[in-house]
Structure 1
Amino acid sequence: MCGIVSIYNKRQAPVAQETIGAMTRVILHRGPDDDGFHLEDNIALGFRRLSIIDVEGGHQPLFNETRDIWIIGNGEIYNYKELQHWLKGCGHVFHTDSDIETILHLYEEVGMDAPKHLRGMFGFTIWDSRNKRLFGARDHFGIKPLYYVETNDAIAVGSEIKSLLELPGVSREVNHTAFYHYLTFQYVPDPETMYQGIYRIPPAHSFVIENDQIRLQRYWDVEFKPDESKPFSYFVEGTRSILLESVDKHRVSEVPRGAFLSSGVDSSSIVGMLRTFEPVKTFSVGSDIPGYSELDYARRTAQYLGTEHHELVVNAQRYMDELPRLVWHQDEPVADPSAILLYFVAQMASEHVTVVLSGEGADEFFGGYNIYREPHSLRMFSRMPGWMRHSIRYLAEKLPEQVKGKNFLIRGSKTVEERFFGNALIFTEEMKERVVMADIRRSEEYRSPWTVTEEIYKRASAYDDVTKMQYLDIHTWLRGNILMKADKMTMANSLELRVPFIDVKVFEFAATIPTKYKIANGTTKHVLREAMKDFLPPEIKTRKKLGFPVPTRHWLKNHFYKWAKEIIFESKVDDLINKAYVLYMLDEHREGNADYSRKIWTILIFMLWHQIFIEQKYNFGPYVSPSVEIRRKKESLQNLG
Structure 2
Amino acid sequence: MSGLCGWFNLPSKDGGDADATLARQRLARMAAPLTRFDGSDVQAIAGADAGAAIAARPDSAHLYREDGLLIAVWGQPTIAGTAEGIGERLAALWPEQGALSCAALSGAFALCILDSRQGIALLAVDRYGTRPMLIQPTPKGVLFASSADAMLAHPAADATLDHQAIFNYLYFHMVPAPGTMYRQQQRLLPGEYVRYGRGGMERGRYWEMRYLEQESAPWSRLRPQFLELMDNAVRETLAGHQVGAFLSGGTDSSTVVAMLSRAGTPARTYSIGFDVDGYDEMDYANVAVHAFGTRHRALYVTAEDVCAAVPHLSAVFDQPFGNASAVPAYYCARMARADGITRMLGGDGGDELFGGNARYAHQAVLSRYERCPAALRQLVLEPALFGLLADSQHALPRKARSYVRQALVPLPARLETYNLLQGYGPGQVLEAAFLATVDSTAPARVLDLADWPSRHLSQINRLLALDMRFTLADNDLPKVNKACELAGLEAAFPFLNDGLVAFAARLRPEDKLRGTRLRHFFRAALRDTLPRAILNKKKHGFGLPVGHWLHTHAGLRNLAGDSLSDLKRRGIVRPAFIDALLDTHLAAHPPYHGTMVWVLMMLEQWLQLRAEARRSHEEVRDELQIRQG
Indicate the TM-score class for this superposition, using the shorter chain for normalisation: 0.7 to 0.9
Partner amino acid for 1:459? P
Deviations 1:582-641 (A, max 9, x none): 221222244235631222222221121111113659999xxxxxxxxxxxxxxxxxxxxx
- 1:525 alignment counterpart: 519
- 1:556 alignment counterpart: 550
- 2:426 alignment counterpart: 432
- 1:26 alignment counterpart: 33
Instruction: State which of 364, 368, 381 in structure 1 corresponds to 2:356.
Output: 368
Mapped to 2, the partners of 1:538 and 1:104 lie a distance apart of 50
Kindly indicate whether residue 253 of structure 2 is the aligned counterpart of residue 255 of structure 1. no
Mapped to 2, the partners of 1:593 and 1:158 lie a distance apart of 42
Mapping for residues 127-526 of structure 1, pairs under 5 Å: 127-211=114-198, 213-227=200-214, 229-251=216-238, 253-279=239-265, 280-351=267-338, 352-384=340-372, 396=386, 399=391, 404-405=398-399, 406-421=401-416, 425-428=419-422, 431-443=425-437, 445-520=439-514, 523-526=517-520
Q: Residue 191 of structure 1: CA displacement?
A: 0.5
Q: Residue 244 of structure 1: CA displacement?
A: 2.1
- 2:6 alignment counterpart: 6
CA 399–299 in structure 1, closer or farther in 2 if over 3 Å, else same: same
- 1:70 alignment counterpart: 70
Alignment partner of 1:276: what SS? helix
> Is the 2:568–2:575 contact (alpha carbons within 8 Å) kept by the matching residues of 1?
no
Alignment partner of 1:604: what SS? helix
Partner amino acid for 1:274? L
Alignment partner of 2:213: what SS? coil
CA 447–380 in structure 1, closer or farther in 2 if over 3 Å, else same: closer
Q: Residue 575 of structure 1: CA displacement?
A: 1.8
Partner amino acid for 2:44? F
Q: Residue 317 of structure 1: CA displacement?
A: 1.2
CA 209–414 in structure 1, closer or farther in 2 if over 3 Å, else same: closer
- 1:39 alignment counterpart: 46
- 2:603 alignment counterpart: 606
User: Which range moves more in the overlay, 512-521 or 431-440?
Assistant: 512-521
Unaligned segments of structure 1, at least 5 residues: 85-96, 621-641
Mapped to 1, the partners of 2:277 and 2:562 lie a distance apart of 27
Partner amino acid for 1:366? F
- 1:82 alignment counterpart: 81
Deviations 1:485-514 (A, max 9, x none): 122221222312111111232222111222
Mapped to 2, the partners of 1:61 and 1:476 lie a distance apart of 31
Q: Residue 22 of structure 1: CA displacement?
A: 1.3
Partner amino acid for 1:598? T
CA 238–604 in structure 1, closer or farther in 2 if over 3 Å, else same: same
CA 425–590 in structure 1, closer or farther in 2 if over 3 Å, else same: closer
> Is the 1:35–1:46 contact (alpha carbons within 8 Å) kept by the matching residues of 2?
yes
Deviations 1:187-207 (A, max 9, x none): 111100122111101111122
Mapped to 2, the partners of 1:51 and 1:445 lie a distance apart of 45
Q: Residue 271 of structure 1: CA displacement?
A: 1.0
TM-score, normalised to structure 1, is: 0.86
Partner amino acid for 1:453? L
Mapped to 2, the partners of 1:178 and 1:61 lie a distance apart of 34
Mapped to 1, the partners of 2:44 and 2:139 lie a distance apart of 23
Flag the structure with higher helix content: 2
CA 378–284 in structure 1, closer or farther in 2 if over 3 Å, else same: same
> Is the 1:177–1:447 contact (alpha carbons within 8 Å) kept by the matching residues of 2?
no
User: Which range moves more in the overlay, 211-220 or 598-607?
Assistant: 211-220
Q: Residue 550 of structure 1: CA displacement?
A: 0.5
Q: Residue 148 of structure 1: CA displacement?
A: 1.0
Partner amino acid for 1:72? A
Deviations 1:7-59 (A, max 9, x none): 12356325532221111101214652311211112221122122446xxxx6x
CA 572–534 in structure 1, closer or farther in 2 if over 3 Å, else same: same
Alignment partner of 2:477: what SS? helix
TM-score, normalised to structure 2, is: 0.88
* Aligned residue pair count: 598
Deviations 1:343-380 (A, max 9, x none): 11111112221122211000011110011002332344
Instruction: State which of 88, 104, 112 in structure 1 corresponds to 2:99.
Output: 112
Q: Residue 131 of structure 1: CA displacement?
A: 2.6
Mapped to 2, the partners of 1:379 and 1:506 lie a distance apart of 29
Q: Residue 171 of structure 1: CA displacement?
A: 3.6
- 1:535 alignment counterpart: 529
Alignment partner of 1:336: what SS? coil
Mapped to 1, the partners of 2:179 and 2:131 lie a distance apart of 16
CA 32–388 in structure 1, closer or farther in 2 if over 3 Å, else same: farther
CA 514–579 in structure 1, closer or farther in 2 if over 3 Å, else same: farther
Mapped to 1, the partners of 2:49 and 2:134 lie a distance apart of 20
Deviations 1:133-183 (A, max 9, x none): 322310011011111122335521111111111121434333122222222
Alignment partner of 2:108: what SS? strand
Deviations 1:52-103 (A, max 9, x none): 46xxxx6x5333xx454332222211x446356xxxxxxxxxxxx4656554
Mapped to 2, the partners of 1:498 and 1:324 lie a distance apart of 25
Deviations 1:100-137 (A, max 9, x none): 65544544674432211111011011233433432231
Alignment partner of 2:552: what SS? coil
C-alpha RMSD over aligned residues: 2.9
Partner amino acid for 2:605? L
Mapped to 2, the partners of 1:174 and 1:385 lie a distance apart of 50
CA 390–338 in structure 1, closer or farther in 2 if over 3 Å, else same: farther
CA 464–393 in structure 1, closer or farther in 2 if over 3 Å, else same: farther
Unaligned segments of structure 2, at least 5 residues: 618-629
- 1:566 alignment counterpart: 562
Q: Residue 290 of structure 1: CA displacement?
A: 4.1
CA 238–488 in structure 1, closer or farther in 2 if over 3 Å, else same: same
> Is the 2:6–2:53 contact (alpha carbons within 8 Å) kept by the matching residues of 1?
yes
Mapped to 2, the partners of 1:225 and 1:236 lie a distance apart of 18
Q: Residue 241 of structure 1: CA displacement?
A: 2.9
Mapped to 2, the partners of 1:429 and 1:299 lie a distance apart of 38
Mapped to 2, the partners of 1:619 and 1:69 lie a distance apart of 33
Mapped to 2, the partners of 1:342 and 1:301 lie a distance apart of 18
What is the percent sequence identity of the aligned residues? 25
CA 277–80 in structure 1, closer or farther in 2 if over 3 Å, else same: farther
> Is the 2:174–2:475 contact (alpha carbons within 8 Å) kept by the matching residues of 1?
yes
Mapped to 2, the partners of 1:439 and 1:99 lie a distance apart of 51
CA 619–41 in structure 1, closer or farther in 2 if over 3 Å, else same: closer
> Is the 1:389–1:414 contact (alpha carbons within 8 Å) kept by the matching residues of 2?
no
User: Which range moves more in the overlay, 411-420 or 205-214?
Assistant: 205-214
Mapped to 2, the partners of 1:481 and 1:333 lie a distance apart of 11
Deviations 1:515-558 (A, max 9, x none): 22212375311211222233222211111111102110111112
> Is the 1:611–1:618 contact (alpha carbons within 8 Å) kept by the matching residues of 2?
no
Q: Residue 570 of structure 1: CA displacement?
A: 1.5
Partner amino acid for 1:612? L
CA 608–240 in structure 1, closer or farther in 2 if over 3 Å, else same: same
- 1:582 alignment counterpart: 578
Q: Residue 430 of structure 1: CA displacement?
A: 5.7
Partner amino acid for 1:7? W
